[in-house]
Amino acid sequence: MTKRLALAAMALTIPAALAFAPLAAQTAAAEPEVLNNANPDSFQVYGLPGGAKPTPIKDAKVQFGKAIRVETPGGGNVWSIGVNSPLQAGAKKGDKIVIAFYARVEKPADGTTTATIASAQIQLAAAPYTRVFGNPVTVGPEWKLYTAAGHADRDYAKGELAAALHINTAKQTLDIGAMAVLNYGQKP
C-alpha cells in the first residue's frame, strides 16, 4: 500500500457516515486527495515560550509510531500557540475537507483529566489567518483519532490554506500524532 493510500485508509476509519453508505459510495470515497504531509516531523509549531521546540517522541500505540510533544503555559490567547500543517494542494469551492489527527494529553492542567484544543481547523496560511471551518476538541489521556470536517467556501490555490490546532488553552502537555487533511471533492 502506498503512503498516500495508507493515509487515506487511516482517515477512512473516521467518518461514521461512510460506515452506513452503500458500497458504491464507499468505493468512490476510498481515495480522497491527501492535501498535506501527515508526518508529525513536518508540522510547524509556533508561539512556544523562549523559542522552545516540540519534542519528537516514539510511541508504538499511535499511527506510524511517532508524535510531537508540546508543552503549553496557558494564559493569553488560545491561538498564541499552535500546530500547523500547510496544505500542498488547493481546493475548489464546495469540496468536502476532513482533518484527521491523533492526539492525547500527556499531562493535563492541574485538577483535570482532559485537555481542550480550542480549534482544529482549516485556515488561511497567512495573515489574517481566517478560519474556513473547525471545531473544538476534548482530548483524553489515550491516543484517539479526532476529526473536523467542513467545505471550502471558495476556490483556494496551492499554499493558501493550512490545517491548524490552537492549543494554548491551559498549562498542559499534549502529544500530537499524524494529521492528515483529505479532500473528498464535491461530496455533501
Q: What is the pLDDT of residues 47-65, one digit of tens each?
A: 999 989 999 999 999 999 9
Q: How far is CA 2 from CA 8, 38, 42, 91, 114, in A?
A: 10, 14, 19, 23, 35
Is the pLDDT score of 1 beyond 50? no
Is the pLDDT score of 122 beyond 90? yes
Q: What is the pLDDT of residue 23?
A: 40
| pTM attached to this predicted model | 0.84
The domains located in the chain, with CATH, are 32-185 (2.60.120.260)
Q: How far is CA 111 from CA 69, 83, 108, 139, 186, in A?
A: 21, 25, 8, 15, 44
Percent of the chain residues past pLDDT 70, beyond the cut: 84
Residue 105 · residue 141 · CB < 8 Å: yes
pLDDT digits (tens, 9 = 90+) for 4-35: 434 444 444 444 333 333 444 444 545 899 99
Mean of the per-residue pLDDT values of the chain = 87
Rounded to 5°, angle at Cα 35 from 34 and 38: 75
